[in-house]
Amino acid sequence: MSRARALDVTADLTLTIDGEPIAIESYTDTVLVDFPSVRALAAVARTERQRLPSLERTLRRMDLTVVVLVDGVAVGTVGARAKPQSNRLPLEVDAGGTLRAAVAAPLRFFN
């Protein structure tokens, strides 16, 4: 796969999906996408899972990385600097961060 020209992204916005505010911020080649809860991330992941391989390929080609956070805690990385655990899931999962995010806001996860 040929590599496109590397990009830097400048963004500071809030996207609302199903009433949940998702903060997106970047000033470099790393985009931070911060979900307010594990539940909000899971809802988006369920509906958008089939797009992940295409997103991952595009991010790598553009030399961009997306760090997924839950309430400020990194839970996964996709794109240029990610080290996916398998080809089926082109995402580097931070198990410790995922556990911290779930423990930090258990009521938001189960409500």
Tens-of-pLDDT digits for all 111 residues of the chain? 555 677 899 999 999 988 999 999 999 999 999 999 888 998 999 999 899 999 999 999 999 999 999 999 999 999 999 999 887 789 999 999 988 888 876 555 444
pLDDT at 4: 66
Q: How many CB atoms lie within 10 A of CB 102?
A: 18
Residues ≥6 apart with Cβ < 8 Å to 2: 61
pLDDT at 98: 87
Asked if 27 and 6 touch (Cβ cutoff 8 Å), the reply is no
Cα–Cα distance measured from residue 35 to residue 44, given in angstroms and rounded to the nearest whole number = 10
**Single pTM value for the model:** 0.87
pLDDT at 87: 76
